[in-house]
């Protein structure tokens, strides 16, 4: 049985701009003597004006956490299920379950609901769409061959509207200026790509990636790329430290095809994402896995030895060998979204055996006496770089 519920508007729609010249205009027209005290209100009072009523069908909700986009019910007989491939501002490219690509806008209701995310739709989202009025998929018994990747949703022959967004799982996201930036949703695994040189390996960035994977609950795999440009033995200790944490590490090189066959086996039949800094070789690895992708690649800047932003949008790509892979833009900073300071210790697996041994239950492992975690760092049971990564994340939440 359907029910009505009250939901919040987005913050930027809560308080409409007010014309501050009313009093000045009133005085100019000399209406002061006719002024009287009226109790009538043009709009509803207080919080009532910042909510709206929507219809929800409990049978369409999942057992996972409810999101704003999941709230509205839809007519499943008139809508089509699909997956978001790419987001272009207010428009998205959706591949329906019957194989068609549709350029979609977002239902106005979804855009106005309160949410902490920068965008209500993200690549990888499972959605329900409604075709534009008069549009209809051709009736055929032959399997539909998905068209080539379109650069603009308006170029697609079918247009529609995203009516509903299903609950997410396996979200790869980060915090940007107090808002959640969802890179890709509904992932089975994430490959964190780092390079030994050009650009230089940032161990602390990897620690942040691993903490984010621990929080989201999906497996994390570290790709140590461009290994052909350095001596692999120099990184044996670092690789061993990650593997002791239960993290799978793959040595790769798009130039020599080292580790490519292993990557193919791991991504087969799964939804995966490749994430990392600009210039570490994410697109090059994907081109090596499936040459027909033809993803753009660029050289590392000679000025600052940093990667240039070649991939500019998150894109989910269907692989001919089975499965999906998301190529994400390079990031230079990565902060975990909505994690309290007290929760950080649980995201570092090597801290867990020592946390319960601290003298104080609310120990922050920074200055307290008889701290078992700091003692483990002194005895080299916890690597010092891991502890510094923890401190960096903690400082951002204090």
Confidence (pTM): 0.74
pLDDT digits (tens, 9 = 90+) for 199-226: 888 888 889 889 888 888 888 899 999 9
What is the b/e burial string over 246-282, where b = at least 16 CB atoms within 10 angstroms of the residue's CB?
ebebbbbbbeeebbeeebeebbeeebbbbbbbbbbbb
d(CA 306, CA 183): 21
pLDDT at 302: 46
Q: What is the largest CA-CA distance in the chain?
A: 90
Is residue 128 within 8 A of residue 81, CB to CB? The reply is yes
The tokens for 156 are 């697609």
pLDDT digits (tens, 9 = 90+) for 258-274: 999 999 999 999 999 99
Would you mind telling me the total number of residues written for the chain in this entry?
Answer: 398
d(CA 371, CA 394): 16
d(CA 271, CA 281): 19
pLDDT at 350: 93
For range 97-123, the mean pLDDT: 80
Domains defined for the chain, CATH in brackets: 61-165 (2.40.50.140), 180-327 (3.40.50.300), 341-395 (1.10.40.50)
pLDDT digits (tens, 9 = 90+) for 292-333: 887 777 554 444 444 454 556 788 988 887 899 988 876 656
d(CA 107, CA 153): 16
pLDDT digits (tens, 9 = 90+) for 61-109: 554 444 555 566 788 888 999 999 998 877 899 999 988 999 999 888 7
């Amino acid at each position: 049985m359907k029910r009505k519920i009250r939901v919040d508007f987005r913050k930027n729609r809560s308080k409409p701009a007010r014309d501050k010249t009313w009093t000045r205009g009133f005085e100019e027209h000399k209406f002061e003597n006719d002024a009287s005290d009226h109790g009538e209100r043009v709009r509803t009072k207080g919080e009532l004006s910042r909510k709206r009523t929507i219809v929800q069908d409990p049978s369409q909700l999942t057992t996972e956490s409810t999101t704003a986009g999941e709230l509205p019910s839809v007519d499943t007989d008139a809508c089509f299920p699909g997956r978001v491939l790419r987001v272009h501002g207010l428009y998205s490219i959706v591949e329906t379950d019957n194989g068609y690509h549709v350029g979609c806008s977002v239902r106005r209701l979804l855009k106005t609901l309160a949410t902490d995310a920068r965008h209500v739709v993200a690549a990888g989202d499972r959605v329900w769409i409604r075709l534009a009025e008069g549009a209809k998929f051709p009736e055929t018994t032959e399997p539909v061959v998905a068209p080539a990747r379109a650069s603009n949703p308006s170029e697609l022959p079918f247009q529609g509207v995203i009516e509903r967004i299903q609950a997410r799982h396996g979200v790869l996201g980060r915090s940007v200026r107090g808002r959640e930036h969802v890179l890709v949703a509904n992932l089975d695994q994430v490959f964190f790509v780092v390079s030994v040189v050009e650009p230089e390996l940032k161990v602390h960035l990897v620690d942040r990636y691993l903490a984010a994977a621990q929080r989201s609950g999906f497996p994390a795999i570290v790709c140590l790329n461009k290994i052909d440009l350095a001596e692999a033995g120099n990184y044996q200790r670092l690789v061993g430290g990650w593997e002791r944490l239960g993290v799978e590490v793959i040595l790769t090189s798009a130039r020599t095809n080292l580790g490519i066959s292993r990557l193919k086996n791991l991504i087969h039949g799964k939804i995966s994402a490749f994430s990392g800094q600009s210039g570490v070789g994410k697109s090059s690895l994907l081109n090596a896995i499936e040459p027909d992708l033809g993803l753009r690649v660029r050289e590392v800047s000679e000025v600052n030895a940093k990667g240039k932003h070649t991939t500019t949008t998150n894109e989910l790509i269907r692989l001919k060998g089975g499965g999906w892979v998301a190529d994400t833009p390079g990031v230079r900073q990565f902060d975990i979204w909505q994690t309290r300071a007290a929760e950080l210790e649980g995201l570092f697996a090597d801290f867990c055996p020592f946390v319960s041994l601290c003298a104080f239950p609310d120990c922050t492992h920074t200055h307290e006496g008889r701290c078992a975690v700091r003692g483990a760092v002194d005895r080299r049971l916890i690597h010092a770089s891991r502890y510094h990564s923890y401190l960096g994340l903690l400082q951002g939440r204090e």
